[in-house]
Amino acid sequence: MSEQELEGLTVAVPESRELDLFARMLEERGAAAFRCPLVRIADSPDEEAVHGWLDRFCDNPPDELILLTGEGLRRLLGFAERRGQHKAFISALSHPRIIARGPKPGRALRPLGLKPDLLSEQPTSAGVIDTLAALDLNGHRVGVQLYGEEPNRPLMEALHDAGAEADPVAPYVYLSDRDDPAVMELIQALDAGSIDVIAFTSKSQVQRLWEVAEGANCRDALERGMGRTLVAAIGPVVEDALAARGRAADLAPEKSYFMKPLVREMVARLRS
């Protein structure tokens, strides 16, 4: 396979945490990366709530632990380490049955010598709910590591209906990474046809882009631009966020929802 499969193409990269890594993957294949990080991740400002959850978890581990993201587990480990609870938290993690939303929480568990007991077939909240439906959770306490600050009411309701007591924690939040004028530059570039592909790696990027467009009364420009641009999504969660805004993803990896498979899928689609 040629090393310059994407030569001559401009790919918009809204990624933040691994922006340089993702951009480099594209540039090594000849693409020009249009960098526009839309959001960044930070520890939850509500430290008291996270500390309280860690105390409960370490003192009396729940029957089950639902991990929705690898980032969430890494943030919890950071909170625990700063409080001198690192060893206690890792020890407590060996007690509950761990249910992971897709492969990323498993990757975060691996350095701890742990792995999920159950993996949802689809890396979505609906996939987790389907996995829970086969379990007897009546009377169980279930720890839930949330996705950002999203309360995930469908998951909470599913646990309540199953007779379980849910104990959620939100260890991180999403913040705007660029000011609105910079995001407007991306919208204008899309509308002008200067972007060939835009590659989303989280639903928060989709949300942020549409929020800025609506706030600036230029949603029409964004949707025109998205209509003439190939839209890549890293997985089903991002695909759902796009579909909710009337734009289906043009391509996405079939099984492995990481950057390398996304780039491979882009190459395969563009070569064809």
Question: 184: helix, coil or strand?
Answer: helix
User: Residue written as tokens 């509500």?
Assistant: 46
CA 113/CA 219 separation, integer angstroms: 47
CA 180/CA 85 separation, integer angstroms: 39
pLDDT along the chain (272 residues), means of 10: 81 92 95 94 96 98 97 97 97 98 92 96 92 97 94 96 98 85 94 97 95 95 97 95 97 90 92 74
pLDDT value of position 255: 82
CA 181/CA 177 separation, integer angstroms: 12
pLDDT value of position 1: 40
pLDDT value of position 28: 94
CATH code of the region 10-38+177-271 = 3.40.50.10090
pLDDT value of position 58: 98
- Torsion from C-alpha of 26, 27, 33, 36, nearest 10 degrees: 70
Contacts of 156 (CB under 8 A, 6+ apart): 144, 166, 168
Domains 10-38+177-271 and 43-174 share a fold: yes
Question: 166: helix, coil or strand?
Answer: strand
CA 143/CA 57 separation, integer angstroms: 8
pLDDT value of position 185: 95
Check residue 202 and report its DSSP letter: S
Each domain of the chain, given as residue ranges in start order, spans: 10-38+177-271, 43-174
Could you tell me the pTM of the whole model? 0.79
CATH 3.40.50.10090 matches 43-174? yes
pLDDT value of position 50: 98
